[in-house]
Amino acid sequence: MRRCSSIRPFTVSALLLRRGIGLGAGLTEQRARAIVGSGRRVAVAWPSGGRRVAIGGPCSAGGGGKVWNMGIGINTRFGFRVVLLAVGLCTGVVTSLLPAGFAAAAVPTPIGVDVSLLTSQTEDGDTLVSDTFSTHAGNELLVAMFSADGPYDPNDRVNVTVQTISSVTGCGLTWSQASDQANYAPGVAAVFTAYATSPVSDCQVSGELASSFDGLVAVLSFTGAAPALADVRPVSNHYDSAGYGAVDVPVDGGIVYQVGHNWSAAEQPVRVSGNGTRAYQDPVPASVVGTYLSSKGDTSWVSKIDEPLPGMATGTDTAASIGTWFSKVGYTNAVTISIRAVDTVE
């Protein structure tokens, strides 16, 4: 960001424009300055009728020659302050109201999916192991999602070992369990994360099972993502028709994924429903990433909300939700996560 310059010092007003042609004007009690927030800029200032006017415009084709922004700051003699109004037109309309002297916020980097790899393990084993993969950038968030069958205890987990995932390893990284595992119903769904500051090559991720069974492991990697998840919620349902989860999306650009296990049927989900800001009141597109239908008669799945979501205030009914629906369900385990961009703040 380059500020307009002048022979005389100014108080700073901030202008935030993104991807478009725009105009901003600021009034301060003594001085004014325009800031143009993308690409390289030049600025001129001159006295005019007792008022100082500063104008900023592009000095080169910066930003690929497709971004043209302009800011105007006007100093008046009225002895009061007002906020700066910035309006962006054409592609990517952005508006911002910022007080004079307030710095413009950084534009969040969109989260990108680098790796999306699902591996089905059809034979019973003590370990679920992914296929080999490589990432292609540094500073990536890696997410390992596990879904496996497990023992059923009609006496409510009194007489058998509960299915769990432990000792997750791979790629020379340190893996951390994101939350409690969803395993109150038979089987398990679990999420582990790691952060890679440099690309990883030709590696696998594995997790140990408490009881030998088949299942699914999904490895996802994200560019532009914060090193830690924004939110994670494990849920186990009995006698419902969906694997359901709701998570907070605290800032703009968050993305939502879910991993689950349906112990009651081996079938493709009949639909996936997403809601962006209030459960069942703000439908958004959602879809199945992949499934594993076990010969034992159960289903492992990964699903997601298709587009990044706007941020929302944390509250009882504000969580974003995703439901993966089946025609026949008795027991499901699901873990739902939200991921935030690396350069966003609440």
- What is the distance, to the nearest Å, from the Cα of residue 240 to the centroid of all Cα atoms in its chain? 28
**Residue 95: C-alpha distances to residues 145, 147, 341 (Å):** 38, 43, 20
| 127 three-class SS | strand
The CA distance from 339 to 311, in Å, is 11
| 266 three-class SS | coil
If you ran DSSP here, which 8-state letter would residue 7 be given?
A: S
pLDDT score of 279: 59
pLDDT score of 319: 87
Instruction: Work out the pLDDT band at 158, boundaries 50, 70, 90.
Output: low
Does residue 242 carry a pLDDT above 80?
yes
Of 167-176, 217-226, 308-317, the least confident: 308-317
The CA distance from 87 to 79, in Å, is 25
First-last CA distance in the chain: 22
**Residue 135: C-alpha distances to residues 124, 243, 268 (Å):** 29, 30, 29
pLDDT score of 151: 87
Of 2-16, 116-130, 213-227, the least confident: 2-16
Check residues 137 and 52 and name the one with the higher pLDDT.
137
pLDDT score of 88: 34
> At 140, phi and psi to the nearest 5?
-110, 140
The CA distance from 20 to 66, in Å, is 8
| Per-residue pLDDT reduced to its tens digit, 265-293 | 999 999 999 998 765 678 999 999 999 99
| 8 three-class SS | coil
Q: Check if the beta carbon of residue 59 is closer than 8 Å to that of residue 70.
A: no
Query: Would you list the DSSP string of 34-52?
Result: -EE-SS-EEEEEEEETTEE
Does residue 318 carry a pLDDT above 60?
yes
| 256 three-class SS | strand
- What is the distance, to the nearest Å, from the Cα of residue 195 to the centroid of all Cα atoms in its chain? 15
In terms of Cα–Cα distance, which of 238, 306, 303, 307 is closest to 268? 303
- Residue 86: how many CB atoms within 10 A of its CB? 27
Tokens of 318: 């504000």
> What is the number of alpha carbons within 13 Å of residue 75 lying toward its C-beta?
20
> What is the number of alpha carbons within 13 Å of residue 269 lying toward its C-beta?
28
Does residue 57 carry a pLDDT above 70?
no
- Residue 50: how many CB atoms within 10 A of its CB? 8
The CA distance from 54 to 34, in Å, is 6
Does residue 78 carry a pLDDT above 60?
no
